Structure 1
Amino acid sequence: MSYDVHQTDGGRKFVIISGDFDFSDDLSQFRDLATREHLFAVGFDSPGGNVAKAMELGRIVRGLNLSTVQTRKLECASACSLAFLGGISRFAEPGSIGVHKSSFRDDSGVEVDDAVSAVQQTTAEIIGYMSEMGVDPALLQLSLSYNSDDIRYLSGSEMAKYKVTTPNAAPLPSSDDVREAPAAVAVTPSGVQAKEPSLEVPVARNGVVRHPKGRAPIKIRGDGDAETIGEARNGAPLRILEVQGDWYRVSVGGNVGFMHYSWVHVTQFEEDAGERRYIQVKSFSSLPEAEVFVRKSPVPLSAHLAANGWFAVTLKDVYAEDEAKDISNALKGHGLIAKDSMVTVGNTYVRKVCCE
């Protein structure tokens, strides 16, 4: 596959993914491209390919909160239709999405029972994926009505019926409004063009609770001493209604209140160590200062843009909670990092900006 980045006159960038989906495709390059270029949408020019890889891409698209768009000028058929379903918002012109039943190639003398089992497993995975993406699994029944050597292109009403498209989704800009994005033309897996990391902090819109104690308090106002009106467990999804300094006004679990920004992993931020921990050793108000510190350090470090616009310097790797505490104490004991270095979940880190 190849990735061609374009942008509108307003500067919003989207990518056209071309080629067949192959099991060996390394989709980390797409993830890197999407986060680096701050894409807002994905389109396709693909006849299909490997179903599992298409669903993997769809989940990445969903995880990055990207929209998907499809026009009749380009092709999106077979497995490509599954990748399209990953869009958080989905627009497609009538006749632009093609479906049919998946094929099973017996290239290695697979026993009949094993082949049937493989087809059943794939079918179950597709149904689960469609449900995960908010699409009516009945679409699969329609797809199974057409052999793998045939294609059924969906009408606009069918796409609405099966929830392939989403209400009020915006189309791609017309070709007159689109131009090639500078420094991001024809990016392919053979070599993604290096580029300085962005220092822009994206707007926080949604995320999940991630608190060191496993549950975060919900405050009546943005103040640590304010009354607690509820709690939310780690992993609970939330919407960020407003940013007030170091506090987010959030809607979570039926409650509306305030959480400190360090208790929330924001989906729009690119950094995400999951349950692992960073060891933060210092912070700086400017990137040049952080770079000098990182390059002079006797231990490997990285610098991260933080939500407050500062730059947090951490050990280069992330660790399990107990491991992070042991490593932090050992490095402090040998004078290799500052005594006030702290173990953190890194919720406030937007993206790594230095230094490979």
Structure 2
Amino acid sequence: MNLLSRLDPRSGLRYVLILQFAIAGVLVAADVFGVIPSPFKQRVELPTGPISPGDQRREYRTDRSDPSLLPQDGPLDVPIPEAFSNRLDFTVQDVEGLGRVLLLSGQIEVDDSFRFASFLSDMQEKPDLVALHSPGGVVSEALSIGKQVRDAELSTAVLAGAMCVSSCPYILAGGEERVVSLRGIVGMHQHYYEQPRLIPVVFAVEGIQKGQGETMQHLIDMGVDPALMLYSLNTPPEEIYALIEEELVDTRISTEIVD
């Protein structure tokens, strides 16, 4: 009787299961504690200052807007907060040449889509434009707000001095017309999708894929080229990839470019 015939297949399966649990434990620990030590991963110093073609990656910040990304010349279309609030703020302004502008500024948090729906329904006059200035946040909330914008047949904009990054472009996509200023920033990166902690890795991956499918379907429904997601998927979450004019137009995330 040779060695292979003496091996109990149940023993081999037990070792495979132990290995799987060990790998899952490492991944869960990384999720809970936020780190996996790696001698191969080195911090890359990102450039600062205004973007240019081929030089479009910058550090992702949620605590404040980063004026170094934006051209410094020229007046702002609407007043832009210097720091992002910890959830969306809604303010209405009458702006010459733009009409009644509803500015959504700040991080996108849980229940902000409900708050937006309530604010919009309480407005006596429908806004002429929904302007955005946000570092992003909860993807599902951004998708919901974007759908509400489209249902209300509103136009969206990223005006001079404003940023719309991370999940914020999914709100921008909701506009029937989508105006982007060359003195504003629209940026993408990999998203975190809401997942319960301490679940099997296979289910976490399944949830991430489902979330990516929902965002792609949203873009398709809004008339935006889902190829926009390539800029998201290829950019680490700690960075932002700022789209240049050609990319904004080609993906149709912008239907009109202004100075």
- Does residue 18 (structure 1) correspond to residue 105 (structure 2)? The answer is yes
The structure, 1 or 2, with the larger RCO (C-alpha pairs under 8 Å, 6+ apart) is 2
- How many angstroms apart in 2 are the aligned matches of 1:105 and 1:60? 21
User: Which residue of 130, 140, 156 maps to 1:42?
Assistant: 130
- How many angstroms apart in 1 are the aligned matches of 2:247 and 2:98? 33
User: Which residue of 213, 216, 231 maps to 1:127?
Assistant: 216
Aligned counterpart, 2:95: 8
Question: Is the Cα contact below 8 Å between 1:31 and 1:60 reproduced in 2?
Answer: no
In percent, how many aligned pairs have the same letter?
Answer: 28
Corresponding residue pairs, total: 169
Larger-gyration structure (1/2): 1
- How many angstroms apart in 2 are the aligned matches of 1:11 and 1:128? 30
- How many angstroms apart in 2 are the aligned matches of 1:165 and 1:38? 22
Question: Is the Cα contact below 8 Å between 1:6 and 1:13 reproduced in 2?
Answer: yes
- Does residue 98 (structure 1) correspond to residue 187 (structure 2)? The answer is yes
Question: Is the Cα contact below 8 Å between 1:4 and 1:17 reproduced in 2?
Answer: yes
Question: How far does the alpha carbon of each residue in 1:212-247 deviate from its partner, in whole angstroms, 9 at most, with x for none?
Answer: xxxxxxxxxxxxxxxxxxxxxxxxxxxxxxxxxxxx
Change in Cα spacing, 1:41 to 1:171, as seen in structure 2 (3 Å) is farther
- How many angstroms apart in 1 are the aligned matches of 2:119 and 2:185? 23
- How many angstroms apart in 2 are the aligned matches of 1:45 and 1:11? 16
Q: Give 3-state SS (helix, strand or coil) of 1:79's partner.
A: coil
Q: Give 3-state SS (helix, strand or coil) of 1:38's partner.
A: coil
Moved over 3 A (4+): 104-107, 169-172
- How many angstroms apart in 1 are the aligned matches of 2:216 and 2:181? 24
Q: Partner amino acid for 2:167?
A: A
Aligned counterpart, 2:252: 163
Aligned counterpart, 1:109: 198
Aligned counterpart, 1:57: 145
- How many angstroms apart in 1 are the aligned matches of 2:215 and 2:168? 13
Aligned counterpart, 1:139: 228
TM-score (norm 1): 0.45
Question: How far does the alpha carbon of each residue in 1:254-279 deviate from its partner, in whole angstroms, 9 at most, with x for none?
Answer: xxxxxxxxxxxxxxxxxxxxxxxxxx
Question: Is the Cα contact below 8 Å between 1:69 and 1:171 reproduced in 2?
Answer: no
Aligned counterpart, 2:240: 151
Aligned counterpart, 1:83: 171
Aligned counterpart, 2:121: 32
Question: Is the Cα contact below 8 Å between 1:97 and 1:153 reproduced in 2?
Answer: yes
Gaps of 5+ in 1: 173-356
Deviation at 1:110, TM superposition (A): 2.6
- How many angstroms apart in 1 are the aligned matches of 2:149 and 2:176? 8
- Does residue 70 (structure 1) correspond to residue 162 (structure 2)? The answer is no
Question: How far does the alpha carbon of each residue in 1:19-61 deviate from its partner, in whole angstroms, 9 at most, with x for none?
Answer: 111122223223314x523201111111000111101101111
TM-score (norm 2): 0.60
Task: Pick the structure with more helix per residue.
Answer: 2
**RMSD between aligned alpha carbons?**
2.1
- How many angstroms apart in 2 are the aligned matches of 1:54 and 1:73? 21
